[in-house]
Amino acid sequence: MAETKGLVQKLKVTVGSATFLYVGPSPTNTSLFFIQRTAGDTAEQASVKDDMVAALASAMVARREVVAIHAVNSAEVTGLRIDPV
């Protein structure tokens, strides 16, 4: 697994589709990631994904750095960490 650390510069939440997040040190220097809810997700998986989106929105507003966890060659976020200050 790979980790990408930075501020959430932009978050685009769409109903019934993926949530897109731009993580990086500045608005012009970001990496694009996504969180995808699917029909095959269990209730627990869907809840975790919803919680990650809520945590990302909160971190973006508070200007807190996040760590997006993803596969090495994938932009799909599978985990999220917000380290203590």
Q: What is the pLDDT along the chain (85 residues), one digit of tens a residue?
A: 999 999 999 999 988 789 999 999 999 999 999 999 999 999 999 999 999 999 999 999 999 999 999 999 999 999 999 998 7
Query: Which pair of tokens denotes residue 62?
Result: 């508070």
Residue among 53, 65, 51, 85 at smallest CA distance from 4: 65
CA distances from 64 to 3, 43, 54, 67 (A): 16, 28, 13, 10
**Confidence (pTM):** 0.92
* H or E stretch covering 8: strand 2-13
- Quote the DSSP letter at residue 72: T
